[in-house]
Structure 1
């Protein structure tokens, strides 16, 4: 069952929300934007949320405000980082509210993952094929969000995020809920040996592990000698190794490259495109 429910908003941003989490954890707001329902034009039409592309910054901020208003947490409480495809996990406090929300200069430097227990804060990250990773602990109230392209995946950013939640807040990994959001699928993501070598390393795969048959979930070799890589399955395995229960990990089946009517895709659109925004935070009324 698809965990991300599409919600069309009349006159506003069309969003994908993890309704199961929102109904289970009081005050939680969590989801992923589509490319629909904003004010950006041309290649960035219409709900581009990325300030680092060549879109009009005022349009980007207007789009972010639309999303913030829809979920009920003002943009002044949102936190963004300058994503570098690394593995740094930033611990977010109330003093970080608004960083990166209105301009890139105030964003958290070199941060591809965030965790917090603070109310009235929203963790946000930007995507256009990379894998969004969501974390929530119903016991302690700690939440997390990570940006995992192939480099971040190979650096085990999912495991780094879990470890930070354990070390800073005493989270028990077996209590965590995790979700892997819309991203480029193995149907559209062909990579070379350099990438596969890094994936093998992070998964600690031996030759005997890889029969390249239908039972091998991570990648398949193509006729051209490259590989169709499933980053979602790789991140799921990293989460399991980090202690999250397999039954607590939900995967979206949306491929951003296959569905450019709904999503931006860096690969499909040859780099000239906007960015979706993943978010997780506690609503004002919580």
Structure 2
């Protein structure tokens, strides 16, 4: 079975879902096709990891050209492993696109109803969550590491869309993108304590591998939280890619021992 993210050139994978959404552009980059050097070779898109800013900006321009989505229409945020989400408009176009200081502060999730904006977040093992409500023209993107996951950033996006934006739960679709898998993600009792606190009686998506050590499936945990929030299970798709295993495609913070680049998850709607 084909993955929901399919490679489209060396630089990226594009989301291929079951939903009809005119002019949707959504995907996830690889580590190939850029100009960065050393540990960031070559398509690092993170401005905050110690790479040459000029190289990152050239890489981002490369992605903008490929997507035909100008940097001036990107919106990026600081990403602090929390659960704060912001609704964005064209007045925030360009924030964080060319310099990290202008990114939306203290935020790990973005959503918009406006066409002509590309929501763009950086990843290197954490879970990218893509939200879509085609009938309502709404799109969203969230960054869910283990901290953001146990703070339920997935459920918070659903709550905002349902309560504030009045979108019926049955109209919401979510794609869970490439991220580190349980095959490579071992955590300790401290993390599992947080995981157990947010589960509402569901089967815990982890297994003990040794005393005090557990293989945690962060993608599956986010799926459980989305279902708890009211999203229909058949409206959730999960990528099979593990960013740690697929060393031929992706950077991995854990595999690369912290010194590495960042992929970018992106979603936007082009103007009519």
Superposed displacement of residue 276, structure 1: 0.3
2:33 pairs with 1:37: yes
Quick one: distance in 1 between partners of 2:228 and 2:212? 29
Hey, which bits of structure 1, 4+ residues long, moved more than 4 A?
A: none
Q: Which residue of 2 aligns with 1:225?
A: 212
Q: Mapping of 1:92-107 within 5 angstroms?
A: 92-107=88-103
Q: Distance in 1 between matches of 2:162 and 2:140?
A: 12
- 2:14 pairs with one of 14, 17, 27: 17
Give unmatched runs, 5+ long, in structure 1: 210-215
1:1-286 pair list within 5 angstroms: 1=1, 2-8=3-9, 14-20=11-17, 24-205=20-201, 216=203, 218-284=205-271, 286=272
Q: Provide the aligned length of Structure 1 versus Structure 2.
A: 271
CA deviations over 1:1-34 (Å, ceiling 9, x no partner) = 410011115xxxx21111236x721111001001
Across the aligned residues of Structure 1 and Structure 2, the Cα RMSD in angstroms comes to 1.3
Please state whether the residue corresponding to 1:235 is helix, strand or coil: helix
* TM-score calculated relative to the size of structure 2: 0.96
Looking at structure 2, the residues matched to 80 and 204 of structure 1 have their Cα atoms a distance apart, in angstroms, of: 32
Normalised by the length of structure 1, the TM-score is: 0.92
Q: Give per-residue Cα distances to partners, 1:119-141, cap 9 Å, x unaligned.
A: 10011111000000000001101
2-structure distance, mates of 1:252, 1:221: 24
1:158-178 CA deviation, whole Å, 9 max, x = no partner?
000111122332211211110
